Chains A and B, each alone.
Chain A
């Protein structure tokens, strides 16, 4: 298929704008490094938006390919990167003796994001694996920004567990290559191999391997550590788009098994997803750090998305809708967490009280973000979760539907009870000074929360159709 020249040009801008911005930032002082990073983030976002608008399709040079799923993820990654970069400047200014100077920080942030963009536009599963693995290398040092004992340990665990897990995924890809003689995504999608024990093994190994990076139980140990210790804008990228990018990788492998394929394989995916959602919902009840709380909430959401993928049909659409809505809602929540951390100097839930008086804007967004990430109406996550439960019922699995509702309800109560306590409880000691809330630290979570809300109540031009097109590409149904 020959694509118009506009599309490869836009794809190149999407992939190259960020490294170009990072390179140019070396020509100015550390204080001005953010200017190039911001300009590059806008360029990458606009190029990805263009690809979404023109519904870019095609394959270039044997390395890159676009289809509705790629378009959607390119847009998602660049949009969360955009807000994270714009949020970063204020956040960095409050970090005492950072491990990374601004130029290096923005360069690593760009490398991390480009690795994700490459993953979702790779035409080949081998290259896709390289993209996912590169995200680990590029992002591990970002976790150490604040030079804390815990952050160094978290970065180490992240590197080790994620790399080991991805080795399992690579084993799966090696076996897939043996079975089919190709790793090209389009070739495999157009002529999937007949189901065999080997294909089942490939999908199972990919589930475990890429699932490690998604944060599925029991390979999730790196997730709460890395999310809680990374700086807030990086945590937003981790939760909002890194986990979905790893899920995207699994989706590409899972696509070789046709919808309605062998039941045990889909049941395996559902079982991993359900277990992850339930375990995360239970674990988040006892969290003492609000960033760890949000991390477990991300794990729960990824578990739910995995259940949707396992169910298939409309469950696939629900999974993609959840991933998109969650990305905007969770990034908003992490920016709010960053605001609270910057202002109070603690990430302990018990040590933060009365935010509604001390940080009224952040408090409002904090509560709304909490509701959004736990599927409260009318946010997009609510719509996705309703569709997910409906899909479980429609597939003749009432037990799965009951377990889904249980996980959703337990997580909803856990997150909102804890975040609500931080906002509404008055401290025992009455002195409660008002804390500063810079304008951009409020505007960015507000913007992302607005998108998470809009997804649930209106059909957003280009974005909502893109979610539907991506689900249909994977053989899913749309409402």
Chain B
């Protein structure tokens, strides 16, 4: 297997992992899923680093493994352990079949939109996959009520951006990519603190707060 084939397989794997995330209603497997997706992304970056002999991409691959495969999933798993009820999406808010179908439909729609609006402007090959991945991340953010699942959606969206940045042959500035990764940790930590506060305040997931209407 040569490098382009490996990159293609890893890219498809990343996309399939996003469809898996959409169809999963337990938070534990979601966290495992996003860690797996990040591992595939790190593999993608590693192959790219090897073919382009880029130290920057290699560092980024290592940073991805450290933060997105190890640290962030660890933080999220601790949350599930601490709050058992949070381990699953509310049944009413999550219909597995519906979400899986919506994810597939969005992937097809994303491909169409990309072909019409973006493909004529972008010369780098393979950029449709991260674009679709970005849309899948947005779908997760917009449709889920569970705080931790929303964090997973946010991570997926950020994975898509790192993926896209890496695809351009001259490479997105490493410094920016690295700080984006660190920024994800910041957002996750804020999310965790806020989710604890939500528990303290006794806000059920997806609750309507009257003061915030209007």
Q: Which of chain A's residues have a CB closer than 8 A to the CB of B150?
A: 160
Bound Cα distance A159, B141 (Å): 12
Interface locus among B51-59, B99-107, B184-192: B184-192
- Are B173 and A183 in touch, CB under 8 angstroms? yes
Least distance between A174 CB and chain B CB atoms (Å): 5
Q: Which of chain A's residues have a CB closer than 8 A to the CB of B187?
A: 136-137, 159, 163
A77 at the interface (CB under 8 A from B): no
- Are B161 and A167 in touch, CB under 8 angstroms? yes
Least distance between A417 CB and chain B CB atoms (Å): 16
B197 at the interface (CB under 8 A from A): yes
- Are B121 and A181 in touch, CB under 8 angstroms? no
Least distance between B133 CB and chain A CB atoms (Å): 11
Q: Which of chain B's residues have a CB closer than 8 A to the CB of A159?
A: 187, 190-191, 194
Q: Which of chain A's residues have a CB closer than 8 A to the CB of B212?
A: 150, 153-154, 157, 224-225, 228-229
Contact of A175 (CB < 8 Å), options: B122, B147, B180, B209:
B122
Least distance between B45 CB and chain A CB atoms (Å): 15
- Are B201 and A174 in touch, CB under 8 angstroms? no
- Are A177 and B214 in touch, CB under 8 angstroms? no
* Residues from 113 to 141 in B contacting A, C-beta threshold 8 Å: 117-118, 120-124, 134, 137-138, 141
Least distance between A199 CB and chain B CB atoms (Å): 9
Chain B interface, number of residues (Cβ within 8 angstroms): 46
Q: Which of chain B's residues have a CB closer than 8 A to the CB of A154?
A: 212
Check A289/B211 contact, CB under 8 A, given A160-B150, A164-B154, A181-B170.
yes
B165 at the interface (CB under 8 A from A): yes
Contact of A137 (CB < 8 Å), options: B123, B157, B186:
B186
B198 at the interface (CB under 8 A from A): yes
- Interface size on A, as a range, is 35 or more
- Are B164 and A140 in touch, CB under 8 angstroms? no
- Are A174 and B161 in touch, CB under 8 angstroms? yes
- Are A149 and B203 in touch, CB under 8 angstroms? yes
B20 at the interface (CB under 8 A from A): no
Bound Cα distance A70, B158 (Å): 29
Least distance between A219 CB and chain B CB atoms (Å): 12
Contact of A171 (CB < 8 Å), options: B120, B134, B197:
B134
- Are B197 and A177 in touch, CB under 8 angstroms? no
Bound Cα distance A216, B82 (Å): 38
Bound Cα distance A116, B149 (Å): 29
Least distance between B188 CB and chain A CB atoms (Å): 10
- Are B214 and A283 in touch, CB under 8 angstroms? yes
Q: Which of chain A's residues have a CB closer than 8 A to the CB of B123?
A: 178
Nearest 3 Cβ contacts at the A-B interface: A126-B176, A198-B121, A150-B211
A-B contact sample (5 more), CB < 8 A, given A147-B197, A153-B209, A160-B154: A124-B176, A134-B183, A140-B194, A159-B190, A198-B121
10 residue pairs bridging A and B, Cβ less than 8 Å apart: A127-B175, A141-B193, A144-B197, A152-B203, A170-B180, A183-B173, A201-B121, A224-B214, A225-B212, A229-B212
